[in-house]
């Protein structure tokens, strides 16, 4: 099975080819190709109109590159099996949401065009479920708790009765967005997360508000307090250290509570903030202390990427979970718990 994936919910114009003999598990014959063109704002944060302009320019190019790659793979493994004129792909998977509407519309239009060009089915993927499924897939874990720590979101999820249930989530801004708003305030270029990670290494811990309510968390107060601290003359490295320790301790606390409440003994991490070493270590240590397993995918699968869209697309396609073009509208507020999980039944049977 060979699936073309297209991602473009915010900053990453990305296309991929995922090829596997069995989408239910990692095999030695799996092959993942990812081509990404990232939008980097000249100043400030992600501007929706500029991001959409970037998508409009970059998506056709990354998609054509992925299609060329699929053709090469098809030729190499004997296209004759399918016939010389046949499609090099079995389906097109695309991120339907959540994300920036103008960007999503460009991705959906490209996906529909490619599906029609090759006369193959379309698969509409929830971007947040893809962030967690890539970790579940690559870890081989059965039923993990999943922490999605990304730019625009922060969720802790657990699977029950055919859906990923949101056990806890941010009550205001996404975790990466909070970090980026702080770094924008002090004049650092986007994205701020890697810079905070670097500066935090040289800093002393500076206390910031710690806000966990039950299973939910809030980041806007931390962001405001961090900005104020820098304005008041606290060394920026200390504020970065305080941000990391505070935010990641909150995420770790809720992840631990979710493991405890669900009785799960596996945790997977997803999302661009998940690239942070300190976050991975805190989660890893917490899991070790309670005898649970922890898995964080490679960075290329943590940040936004079309590989995760194609991987989940392959599972959905195998389960017959495709979508008609007329039903393939985007959903910029597509929540992970709205997705009927069709593919896990197929895997488990
Ligand atoms: P979403 O997936 O919710 O749509 P997104 O589109 O912003 O979010 P991601 O690629 O998941 O995309 O995450 C990007 C975020 O990750 C940015 O906010 C960025 O600052 C943050 N980030 C990247 N690297 C690091 C790091 N090393 N430490 C902390 N944060 C990081």
Instruction: Find out whether the beta carbon of 45 lies less than 6 Å from any atom of ligand 1.
Output: no
Can you tell me the mean pLDDT for 276-291? Answer: 98
**For residues 235 and 131, is the Cβ–Cβ distance under 8 A?**
no
For residue 37, what are the contacts with CB-CB under 8 A and spacing of at least 6?
12, 13, 14, 54, 58, 61, 62
Q: How far is the CA of 305 from the centre of ligand 1 (A)?
A: 11
pLDDT at residue 348, as a whole number: 53
pLDDT in tens, 94-114: 999 999 999 999 999 999 999
Can you tell me the mean pLDDT for 26-51? Answer: 94
Exposed, middle or buried: residue 224 (CB in 10 Å: 0-12, 13-18, 19+)? middle
Say if residue 218's pLDDT is above 80.
yes
Q: Mean pLDDT for the chain?
A: 95
Closest CA to 133 of 329, 319, 333: 319
Can you tell me the mean pLDDT for 268-292? Answer: 98
pLDDT at residue 77, as a whole number: 79
- Say how far apart CA 307 and CA 30 lie, in whole Å: 12
Instruction: Find out whether the beta carbon of 275 lies less than 6 Å from any atom of ligand 1.
Output: yes
Say if residue 83's pLDDT is above 60.
no
Choose which residue among 186, 193, 275 to substitute to test ligand 1 binding: the one with the highest number of ligand atoms within 8 A of its C-beta: 193
How would residue 90 be classed by pLDDT, with cut points 50, 70 and 90? very high
DSSP letter (8 states) at residue 336? G
**For residues 55 and 106, is the Cβ–Cβ distance under 8 A?**
yes
Q: How far is the CA of 193 from the centre of ligand 1 (A)?
A: 7
Between 52-61, 255-264, 340-349, the lowest mean confidence (pLDDT) is in: 340-349
Cis omega before residue 202 (within 30°)? no
Domains of the chain, start order: 2-131+302-348 (3.30.420.40), 142-299 (3.30.420.40)
Chain-centroid distance, C-alpha 139: 16
Q: How far is the CA of 231 from the centre of ligand 1 (A)?
A: 25
Conformation bin of residue 158: beta by default, left when phi > 0, alpha when psi is -120 to 50: beta
**For residues 169 and 155, is the Cβ–Cβ distance under 8 A?**
yes
Say if residue 4's pLDDT is above 80.
yes
Strands 145-149 vs 154-160: parallel, antiparallel or unpaired: antiparallel
Atom of ligand 1 lying closest to residue 150 CA:
11
Can you tell me the mean pLDDT for 42-46? Answer: 87
- Say how far apart CA 268 and CA 146 lie, in whole Å: 5
Say if residue 82's pLDDT is above 90.
no
**For residues 324 and 120, is the Cβ–Cβ distance under 8 A?**
no
For the chain, give the percent of residues with pLDDT over 70. Answer: 97
Q: How far is the CA of 152 from the centre of ligand 1 (A)?
A: 8
Instruction: Find out whether the beta carbon of 240 lies less than 6 Å from any atom of ligand 1.
Output: no
Say if residue 233's pLDDT is above 50.
yes
pLDDT at residue 345, as a whole number: 77
Atom of ligand 1 lying closest to residue 277 CA:
27
- Say how far apart CA 29 and CA 213 lie, in whole Å: 45
Say if residue 232's pLDDT is above 80.
yes
Instruction: Find out whether the beta carbon of 194 lies less than 6 Å from any atom of ligand 1.
Output: yes
Say if residue 346's pLDDT is above 80.
no
Can you tell me the mean pLDDT for 188-210? Answer: 97
Between 75-79, 125-129, 206-210, 236-240, the lowest mean confidence (pLDDT) is in: 75-79
Straight-line distance from the first to the last Cα atom of the chain, in angstroms, rounded to the nearest whole number: 19
Q: How far is the CA of 117 from the centre of ligand 1 (A)?
A: 33
- Say how far apart CA 242 and CA 17 lie, in whole Å: 40
pLDDT at residue 80, as a whole number: 47
For residue 234, the tally of other CB atoms under 10 A from its CB is 16
Q: How far is the CA of 161 from the centre of ligand 1 (A)?
A: 30
Between 297-311, 313-327, 333-347, the lowest mean confidence (pLDDT) is in: 333-347
pLDDT at residue 79, as a whole number: 57
Can you tell me the mean pLDDT for 10-34? Answer: 96
Triad 84, 89, 92: Cα angle to 5°: 150
| ipTM of this predicted structure | 0.98
Instruction: Find out whether the beta carbon of 107 lies less than 6 Å from any atom of ligand 1.
Output: no
pLDDT at residue 160, as a whole number: 94
3-state SS string over 10-23?
A: CCEEEEEEEECCCC
Distances in Å between the alpha carbon of 36 and those of 14, 66, 152, 307, 333?
4, 10, 19, 10, 23
Can you tell me the mean pLDDT for 26-34? Answer: 96
Say if residue 190's pLDDT is above 70.
yes
pLDDT at residue 85, as a whole number: 64
Can you tell me the mean pLDDT for 232-260? Answer: 98
If residue 7 lies in a helix (H) or strand (E), which one and from where to where?
strand 2-7
Can you tell me the mean pLDDT for 299-303? Answer: 98
Say if residue 117's pLDDT is above 70.
yes
Q: How far is the CA of 6 from the centre of ligand 1 (A)?
A: 18
If residue 268 lies in a helix (H) or strand (E), which one and from where to where?
strand 266-270
Instruction: Find out whether the beta carbon of 125 lies less than 6 Å from any atom of ligand 1.
Output: no
């Amino acid at each position: 099975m060979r699936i073309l994936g297209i991602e473009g919910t915010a900053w990453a114009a990305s296309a991929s080819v995922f090829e596997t003999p069995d989408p239910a598990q990692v095999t030695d014959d799996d092959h993942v190709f990812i081509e990404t063109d990232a939008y980097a704002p000249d100043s400030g944060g992600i501007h929706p109109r500029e991001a959409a302009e970037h998508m409009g320019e970059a998506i056709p190019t990354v998609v054509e590159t992925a299609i060329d790659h699929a053709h090469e793979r098809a030729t190499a493994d004997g296209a004759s099996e399918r016939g010389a004129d046949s499609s090099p792909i079995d389906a097109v998977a695309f991120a339907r949401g959540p994300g920036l509407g103008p960007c999503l519309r460009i991705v959906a239009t490209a996906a529909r065009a490619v599906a029609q060009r090759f006369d193959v089915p379309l698969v509409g993927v929830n971007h947040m479920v893809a962030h967690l499924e890539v970790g579940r897939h690559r870890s081989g874990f059965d039923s993990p708790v999943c922490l999605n720590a990304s730019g625009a979101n922060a969720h802790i999820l657990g699977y029950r009765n055919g859906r990923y249930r949101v056990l806890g989530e941010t009550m205001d801004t996404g975790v990466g967005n909070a970090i980026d708003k702080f770094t924008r305030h002090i004049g650092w270029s986007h994205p701020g997360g890697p810079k905070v990670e670097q500066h935090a290494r040289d800093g002393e811990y500076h206390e910031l508000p710690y806000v966990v309510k039950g299973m939910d968390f809030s980041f806007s107060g931390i962001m405001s307090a961090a900005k104020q601290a820098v304005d008041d003359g606290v060394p920026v490295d200390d504020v970065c250290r305080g941000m990391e320790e505070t935010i990641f301790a909150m995420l770790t606390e809720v992840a631990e509570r979710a493991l405890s409440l669900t009785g799960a003994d596996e945790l997977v991490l997803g999302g661009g903030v998940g690239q942070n070493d300190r976050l991975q270590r805190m989660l890893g240590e917490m899991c070790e202390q309670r005898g649970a397993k922890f898995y964080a995918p490679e960075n290329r699968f943590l940040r936004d990427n079309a590989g995760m869209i194609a991987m989940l697309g392959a599972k959905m396609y195998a389960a017959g979970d495709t979508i008609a073009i007329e039903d393939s509208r985007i959903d910029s507020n597509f929540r992970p718990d709205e997705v009927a999980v069709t593919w896990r039944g197929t895997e488990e049977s």
